[in-house]
Amino acid sequence: MAALAVLRRSAPARLLSGTLCVHSRVLAPWRQYQSNRHFSNDKILVEMDESTGVAVMKMKNPPVNGLSLELLTEFSISLEKLEIDRGCRGLILTSASPKVFSAGLDITEMCGKSAEHYAAFWKAVQEMWLKLFGSNMVTIAAINGSSPAGGCLMAMCCDYRIMADSPKYAIGLNETQLGIVAPFWFKDTMTHTVGSRVTEQSLQLGQMYPAPAALKFGLVDQLVPEDKVQITAAAAMAQWLSVPDHARQITKPMIRKPIVDRLVKQREADIDNFVSFISKESIQKSLQAYMDRLKQKKQ
């Protein structure tokens, strides 16, 4: 038993080998950590069921769960907390808002800000990915709505994806449609999920796939009616957790560690690339035009 406990605690550190980025601004909410194992801060809600060892994490950044610096920071801190909790074996990631899992990176974080802000934001995006893709827990995405770009990335980081069965909801890495480029580790995550050929085409075209199409080539694993997404995720989790932890936890990094290490080795260069790319006037114009189109859609 002791050996298993050691494995359970040490594997995340081995797999991640990244640094823990703790943003002082959001440390205070941890004081709200309750003995009933429900905790929340502004943008992330966590409900921990001690009887099953499963935590449900809900993103709560209305209206569309844009991945802001604040949400990303709270996400990484929450995940780290669960990761070191020996009672927590599985994580279900979902949205507190109906109809949208996550609209991806909050575009306002990438428009008209300073180079320092872009660097801090990108570091938080990296941190989210390192922690979620490298998690030692079983991770299941309960995709209860649309999931473009960064939202799709989060879902792909999970071990298993269940999506609401509706052609209204779409998922994909649509970066090129915004005039931006998915970085290599987004591409690596998609290749890991659906293979090279589909990734090459999807990334170039910035394709968004309605849920039924996404199921066909394995971008999601299962479609269920919208009101069954959470319960199906819990059932799938029970199945995954029936595998002995130590065996599963040694197996997962065999595939994922080389992918994680690629970013770990060049984190600073990746931040510099992002800052110089996003600061270009032409890129700022593209992003602004995209935001304007999103707003016009309503009128």
Q: Which residues are catalytic?
A: 105, 150, 174-175
C-beta of 134 vs 151, nearer to ligand LQQ7U7AH:
151
CB atoms within 10 A of CB 296: 8
Binding site for ligand LQQ7U7AH (CB under 6 A): 63-64, 66, 99-100, 103-108, 146, 148-150, 174-175, 178, 180-183, 273-274, 277-278, 294-295, 297-298
C-beta of 222 vs 284, nearer to ligand LQQ7U7AH:
284
Q: How far is the CB of 10 from ligand LQQ7U7AH (least distance, A)?
A: 32
Are 229 and 164 in contact, with CB atoms under 8 Å apart? yes
- Distance between CA atoms of 253 and 249, rounded to whole angstroms? 7
Paired with 224 in beta bridges are 164
Element (H, E) at 91: strand 90-95
- Distance between CA atoms of 188 and 173, rounded to whole angstroms? 12
Question: Please, is 140 exposed, middle or buried when counting C-beta atoms within 10 Å of its C-beta (0-12, 13-18, 19+)?
Answer: buried
Q: How far is the CB of 186 from ligand LQQ7U7AH (least distance, A)?
A: 6
Q: How far is the CB of 123 from ligand LQQ7U7AH (least distance, A)?
A: 13
- Distance between CA atoms of 59 and 46, rounded to whole angstroms? 9
- Distance between CA atoms of 40 and 32, rounded to whole angstroms? 7
Helix ranges (DSSP H) in 17-87 = 69-83
C-beta of 46 vs 72, nearer to ligand LQQ7U7AH:
72
Q: How far is the CB of 47 from ligand LQQ7U7AH (least distance, A)?
A: 24
C-beta of 182 vs 190, nearer to ligand LQQ7U7AH:
182
C-beta of 83 vs 109, nearer to ligand LQQ7U7AH:
109
Tokens, residue 191: 């290749």
Q: How far is the CB of 299 from ligand LQQ7U7AH (least distance, A)?
A: 9
DSSP 243-286: S-HHHHHHHHHHHHHHHHHHHHHTHHHHHHHHHHHHTSHHHHHH
Q: How far is the CB of 263 from ligand LQQ7U7AH (least distance, A)?
A: 12
Angle made by CA atoms 237, 241, 243, in degrees to the nearest 5: 135
- Distance between CA atoms of 81 and 12, rounded to whole angstroms? 12
C-beta of 178 vs 215, nearer to ligand LQQ7U7AH:
178
- Distance between CA atoms of 179 and 175, rounded to whole angstroms? 7
